[in-house]
């Protein structure tokens, strides 16, 4: 009989179950929308991560500045909540949009951080979504700076 960490094994199983529920929901949605795409599931830290990949027409699911993606993520989280009764922090990515966005935001944060270190003056960035703010805060913290 294999033993699992009291907390870790159960947590991973719960997150994998969230990913399965999300994937089922998204598969139905893709069928209804008549959009092709493959689903990849993973556990990324303390959240389930689901990605829709492999189709050329995924831009319609991302929308302008990721607005449709954000909405689909919230709907998917609600589908998980409906099944589990627990709030989900699931992260949805479509066509590597968030992956590319994260890369660009880290670059922006590093450039801003370098400028702050050089000038000693605070910099104000454009308004961002919660996801974008978290990426920037983390990148700036890695540079030994603080952000608001």
CATH number at residue 12: 3.30.300.20
Q: Examine residue 72 and state whether it is found in any structural domain, yes or no.
A: yes
**Same-domain check for residues 62 and 85:** yes
Residue 147 has pLDDT above 80, yes or no: yes
| Bridge-based pairing state of the strands 91-94 and 47-53 | parallel
Statement to judge: residues 112 and 71 lie in one domain: no
Among candidate residues 25, 136, 17, the one with its CA nearest the CA of residue 75: 25
Distance from C-alpha of 105 to C-alpha of 112, rounded to nearest angstrom: 10
Q: Are residues 80 and 111 in the same domain?
A: no
DSSP 60-71: HHH-GGGHHHHH
Instruction: Give the pLDDT confidence score for residue 7 in this predicted structure.
Output: 62
Query: Rounded mean pLDDT of the chain?
Result: 90
Residue 45 lies in a domain: yes
**32-54 average pLDDT score:** 92
DSSP class of residue 30?
H
Domain containing 16 equals 8-95
DSSP string covering 126-142 = PP--HHHHHHHHHHHHH
- How many CA atoms lie within 13 Å of 90's alpha carbon, on the beta-carbon side? 36
Same domain membership, residue 56 and residue 25 = yes
In a domain, 113, yes or no: yes
Going by pLDDT thresholds of 50, 70 and 90, the confidence category of residue 131 is confident
Are residues 92 and 73 in contact, defined by beta-carbon separation less than 8 angstroms? yes
- Does some domain include residue 147? no
Q: In terms of domains, do 58 and 73 share one?
A: yes
Residue 71 lies in a domain: yes
Q: What's the pLDDT tens digit per position in 79-115?
A: 999 999 999 999 999 999 999 999 999 999 999 999 9
Both 87 and 70 in a single domain?
A: yes
Give the residue among 46, 38, 39, 37 at the shortest CA–CA distance from 12.
Answer: 46
Nearest in space to 45 (alpha carbons), one of 97, 3, 89: 89
Task: Give the percent of the chain with pLDDT over 70.
Answer: 95
Question: Does 85 lie in the same domain as 18?
Answer: yes
The answer as to whether 148 is a domain residue is no
Q: Which residues does residue 38 pair with via DSSP β-bridges, in sequence order?
A: 53
Reported confidence tier of residue 126, pLDDT bands at 50, 70, 90: very high
Q: How many domains does the chain have?
A: 2
pLDDT for 56: 77
Asked whether the whole model's pTM tops 0.85, one would answer no
Q: Is residue 114 part of a domain?
A: yes
Q: Are 70 and 120 contained in the same domain?
A: no
Same domain for 86 and 19? yes
As separate numbers, helices (DSSP H) first and strands (DSSP E) second, the chain gives: 5, 3
Residue 57 lies in a domain: yes
């Amino acid at each position: 009989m294999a033993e699992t960490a009291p907390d870790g094994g159960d947590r991973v199983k719960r997150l994998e179950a969230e990913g399965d529920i999300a994937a089922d929901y998204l598969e139905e949605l893709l069928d209804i929308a008549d959009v092709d795409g493959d689903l990849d599931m993973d556990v990324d830290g303390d959240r389930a991560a689901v990605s829709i990949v492999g189709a050329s027409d995924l831009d319609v699911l991302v929308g302008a500045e990721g607005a449709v993606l954000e909405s689909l993520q919230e709907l998917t989280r609600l589908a998980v909540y409906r099944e589990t009764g627990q709030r989900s922090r699931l992260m949805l990515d479509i066509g590597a949009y968030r992956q590319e966005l994260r890369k660009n935001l880290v670059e922006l944060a590093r450039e801003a951080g370098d400028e702050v270190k050089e000038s000693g003056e605070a910099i104000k960035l454009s308004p961002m979504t919660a996801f974008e703010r978290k990426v920037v805060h983390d990148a700036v913290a890695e540079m030994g700076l603080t952000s608001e």
